[in-house]
Structure 1
Amino acid sequence: MSLQQQVSPPEFALSDVAPSRLVGVGIVAVPVLTGEDGPLLGPGAAELAEDLGIDLTQVLEAAEATGETGEVTELPVVGTSDLANSALSRVLMIGVGAGTPTDLRRAGATLARRTTNADAVASSLSAVGDDDVLAAFVEGATLGSFGFSMRKDGPRDRPVGRIAIALTANDEERAAWLRRAVATSGASWQSRLLASVPSNIKTPAWLAEQAVTAAEAAGLKTTVLDEKQLAERGFGGVVGVGQGAAAPPRFVQIDYKPEKGARKAKHVVLVGKGITFDSGGLSIKPGQSMVTMKRDMTGAAVVAAVMAALPDVDCPLRVTGLLPIAENSVSGTSMRPGDVITQYGGRTTEVTNTDAEGRLVLADGLAYAVDKLDPDVLVDIATLTGAMKVALGQHTGGLFANDDALAAHLDESGARAGERVWRMPLSEEYEGKLASKVADSDNAPGGPGAITAALFLQHFNGGLPWAHLDIASVGDAPQDYFEWTEGPTGFGARLLLDWLGQAEPLAGVGRAD
């Protein structure tokens, strides 16, 4: 299957013209803010009212509009032959609340859903705020458009083809912000797309190929290890998890260097869990629990997409992305409960539950980074534990970290990017649960499951500043909700790109000071 056959996100263009005066655009969207005495029409509304000869405030009053974020008051337009834009047929007055980035991200997603299949839309929604508001609007409009289809005749619906961002100067600074926003939202889109592809197509080799293709298109260096090289080099976790599958495992390394100051730049390594399908292995999952397991490689998809977007966000650090990829399947060669595997670097693990496989491949990636890459900071991301969903529900990701400054950076970036995380404790009281009579640790020491999984991984970070993002809670959206579309979420791409795109991403972090 070619990903080029899938739905594509909208294109964006900047224009300093009022939305109703952009010739040839049939749909116009203007913002409505909440005010103390009722809704307030925002930029672009005055020109629209003048063009149509309509009191738009009265229209809002008749609709009992409030300006609440995502609220839509729609007005069909007829008899436009005398207008400069004779193609105008629909007006959308969309609530943007207080005009914060979160409000505009949600308003952008609302606009996307109300304009499905349209060729073009002109919107002045983002004119209510600054560059952060512009970026959030682009993210929302992109991600609210996401869809995936393998139907013979193509998808039932397609996103709006083009969104003209009206009343916004097309200068160098704004163009740079737009490029950055498109890259960030595109990375999240790509993560969702990869996670949506069914596992009969998405073998480890296929996923590795997709990561390499995206990285090389961005000018990045890549290395791929096959199953023989993994065995020879001691990647016991990746090999063990993948040994039961017909499609053998892979390990991908992607390297990014900033254009300026690469020699002195600090080095971050990202490790993403890449389980292309998780049956649970011989500790097999219930049938219903397997339905979403094609997305158990979301962590690897996020890392691959983030790496490809780093040049567009002007990341000042050296960054290496590691993707340990395997299918956790059931066969006569599958890893067995009670087996002892030797992880990269020599630490041994007793496998008491083959469904606790993600930590085994992540451990290899972390240990390899410590041994070969000399990083300043390690971050791993994974749909790791069902316990995280129990703890945090489906709107917040879990964050573990051994460095307070690193945790603060990631928490702040999650809040800005619309991908919130909650810091969880690395409680030493549970360390004893990892004990094994025959190996250095047990891979399934029991509850509290998210914490003991993080404690297991902590043994492979080499004492470096490290963060672990457990996104099992947010790996799937149960229903459409603003920029989230039902299905795989690609959670983490926006968070990581916001962090890595800061001027000083490692300020105050461990030895990176």
Structure 2
Amino acid sequence: MMKIELTGAAALELESSLLAVPVFEEELADGLKGPLVAIDRKLGGHVAAAAREEGFVGRADQSLFLHTLGKMRSARILFIGMGRRPTPEQLLRQGFEPVRMAAGQAVRLARKTASARFAFAAASIPGDAALVARAVVEGTLLGAYQFDRYRTRKEKKPEAPAHLLLALAPGKDRAPDVKDLVSLAMETAAAVVWARDLVNEPPLACTPALLADAARALAKEAGLTVEVKGPKEIAALEMGMFQGVARGSVEEPRLIRLSYVPKGAAGKKKPIVLVGKAITFDSGGLSLKPTESMVTMKSDMAGSAAVFAAMKVVAALAPAQPVHALVGACENMPGGRAYKPSDILTSYAGKTVEITNTDAEGRLVLGDVLAWGADTFHPAAMIDVATLTGACMVALGHTTTGAFGPDGPVIEGVLAAGRNAGEDVWRLPLTESVKENLKSDVADLKNAGERWGGAISAAWFLKEFAGDTPWAHLDIAGPSFSSKEAGYIAKGGTGAAVRTLVEFVRAFRG
């Protein structure tokens, strides 16, 4: 992990390989303003001249490199465009996400220039200094991420910076709330990186058994308890939907529980239960996916990575109520024993389900785990996280999570947590008319209805098994995996929803 150092020194005093300075459009309009004035004076007017020549006006997609030629203590300076200057209230509503994105962009450019000691001048960013510092640290640590463990002939690439020097307003670097949130940012970023690594593993490596091993290792490291159930125990629980999905693969399923339980009276409170989808590879089963749709299906376990990674931070937070993460892990394959369209499966809850599409498998496994979680732990709040539907991506695109749930403190808490974490979470309706799509002529319900409103009908299916438990569903099909770099987002697994879950646990009082 990169070393993080806080300082109250001015930008001109920072000693680094590369100094990143955020620039708002207003600071370049009608002459230089803000911190640019002193830097421009130190560099003999070259900032203003270079900005004019390069057309740098401070837009959020712009950056400008300058060598300081020994005139500053930093060898090079990087101006990062931030767009129009927001009010502190606007940045707060955005969860300081523009700051996080700018820090991620800056550290990726720092890597390309082999800058070992990276400084970020954050004093001019509006808003609470602790929240600014948190966003910069998270953005920097996540922006420095790359996954290349399977390259045998690695290109000689510059290393990520080993040191972040974060400059805040004088005195803020010593404030207890700043130090607390920087520590939280480091814990959270490490958890997101852990989730990214897990999602980026090939399906040959990340099988249900190896996912269980990862949970065991995490439990040992974080001081959590872990329980893993195999095929016989899953059968004994009569999880017929889970068993049905797993049947086509030679990889045996696992039911995994990671738990944080505080000592004393707090340990007897109703818990928060986090449920993650863990289809470690999804071929679609007998309703086989096209080849191009299958390429990224190693990421169909991103929900499980998110809930496990969140538990890594939960252990450090030590909240005053229990938190459990539950995962049903299996593959969805078209083997000779695979479940078939028109099969009828009997769930843990006793409800029967007609199979109309074997590629609507995640909701089947989640349904059994949600019902078991509700029955076993009687949660104060239960949240599932799943790469559930392409329909959610059609509705919201690649960067927004769809949120579903009945009105109440859980869905409101999830939406607030997403805002505070800087993750884009948008509530979609549980429209009653769409629920009709799940009616079956031969069973209690079917696992997939018509195309239209597919994300909503999938959420209704899960609601059938969550029952009356206070519940919310996060569909991360879009943001869980990225085809390109952007800010602190790397190609591949993103660790979507980890930060939202952490914020939810921090704030929820059930």
The verdict on a shared fold, with TM-score over 0.5 as the criterion, is: yes
TM superposition score normalised by structure 2: 0.89
Alignment of 1:163 with 2:154, yes or no, is no
The residue aligned with 1:74 is 65
**CA-to-aligned-CA distance 1:128-160 (integer Å, 9 cap, x gap):** 242111111122222222221110144654432
The residue aligned with 1:144 is 143
The residue aligned with 1:390 is 394
Alignment of 1:400 with 2:404, yes or no, is yes
| Farther-moved stretch of structure 1 (400-409 vs 33-42) | 33-42
How far the C-alpha of 1:118 sits from its partner, in A, is 2.8
How far the C-alpha of 1:50 sits from its partner, in A, is 6.8
Alignment of 1:498 with 2:503, yes or no, is yes
TM-aligned CA distance change 1:75 to 1:248, over 3 Å = same
Cα distance between partner residues in 1 of 2:396 and 2:289: 22
**SS class of match (1:89):** strand
How far the C-alpha of 1:42 sits from its partner, in A, is 4.9
| Farther-moved stretch of structure 1 (127-136 vs 57-66) | 57-66
Q: 2:26 aligns with which of 22, 35, 52?
A: 35
| Farther-moved stretch of structure 1 (317-326 vs 51-60) | 51-60
**CA-to-aligned-CA distance 1:315-353 (integer Å, 9 cap, x gap):** 444211101110111211211222222222322222221
How far the C-alpha of 1:49 sits from its partner, in A, is 5.6
Tell me, which stretches of 5 or more residues in structure 2 are unaligned?
none
The residue aligned with 2:472 is 467
The residue aligned with 1:128 is 125
| Farther-moved stretch of structure 1 (280-289 vs 431-440) | 431-440
- Is contact 1:271-1:379 (8 Å) kept? yes
Alignment of 1:481 with 2:480, yes or no, is no
Cα distance between partner residues in 2 of 1:367 and 1:190: 28
Alignment of 1:119 with 2:120, yes or no, is no
TM-aligned CA distance change 1:374 to 1:71, over 3 Å = same
Alignment of 1:311 with 2:297, yes or no, is no
The residue aligned with 1:104 is 99
How far the C-alpha of 1:203 sits from its partner, in A, is 0.6
Amino acid at match of 2:6: L
| Farther-moved stretch of structure 1 (352-361 vs 13-22) | 13-22
TM-aligned CA distance change 1:161 to 1:435, over 3 Å = same
TM-aligned CA distance change 1:261 to 1:139, over 3 Å = farther
Q: Give the count of matched residue pairs.
A: 490
**SS class of match (1:163):** strand
The residue aligned with 2:6 is 14
Alignment of 1:242 with 2:246, yes or no, is yes
Identity of aligned residues (%): 36
Tell me, which stretches of 5 or more residues in structure 1 are unaligned?
1-8, 507-511
Structure 2 counterparts to residues 291-440 of structure 1, below 5 A: 291-313=295-317, 315-440=319-444
How far the C-alpha of 1:40 sits from its partner, in A, is 5.5
The residue aligned with 1:280 is 284
Cα distance between partner residues in 2 of 1:156 and 1:205: 34
How far the C-alpha of 1:294 sits from its partner, in A, is 0.3
**CA-to-aligned-CA distance 1:3-45 (integer Å, 9 cap, x gap):** xxxxxx644222333455445x3111223223274575555x6
- Is contact 2:131-2:178 (8 Å) kept? no
Alignment of 1:456 with 2:447, yes or no, is no
TM-aligned CA distance change 1:128 to 1:431, over 3 Å = closer
| Farther-moved stretch of structure 1 (186-195 vs 58-67) | 58-67
**SS class of match (2:133):** helix
Cα distance between partner residues in 1 of 2:220 and 2:20: 38
TM-aligned CA distance change 1:350 to 1:38, over 3 Å = farther
- Is contact 1:302-1:493 (8 Å) kept? yes
The residue aligned with 1:4 is none
Alignment of 1:89 with 2:75, yes or no, is yes
**CA-to-aligned-CA distance 1:168-219 (integer Å, 9 cap, x gap):** 5245432211011112222222222211111011111111111221233111
TM-aligned CA distance change 1:38 to 1:194, over 3 Å = farther
**SS class of match (1:244):** coil
| Farther-moved stretch of structure 1 (238-247 vs 292-301) | 238-247
Cα distance between partner residues in 2 of 1:464 and 1:403: 12
**CA-to-aligned-CA distance 1:370-424 (integer Å, 9 cap, x gap):** 1111111111110001111111111211111012432222222222322212211
Cα distance between partner residues in 1 of 2:155 and 2:497: 26
**SS class of match (2:177):** helix
The residue aligned with 1:6 is none
- Is contact 2:130-2:177 (8 Å) kept? no
Amino acid at match of 1:497: V
Structure 2 counterparts to residues 38-53 of structure 1, below 5 A: 38=30, 42=34
TM superposition score normalised by structure 1: 0.89
**CA-to-aligned-CA distance 1:274-303 (integer Å, 9 cap, x gap):** 000000111111111100100000000000
- Is contact 2:267-2:320 (8 Å) kept? no
TM-aligned CA distance change 1:395 to 1:255, over 3 Å = same
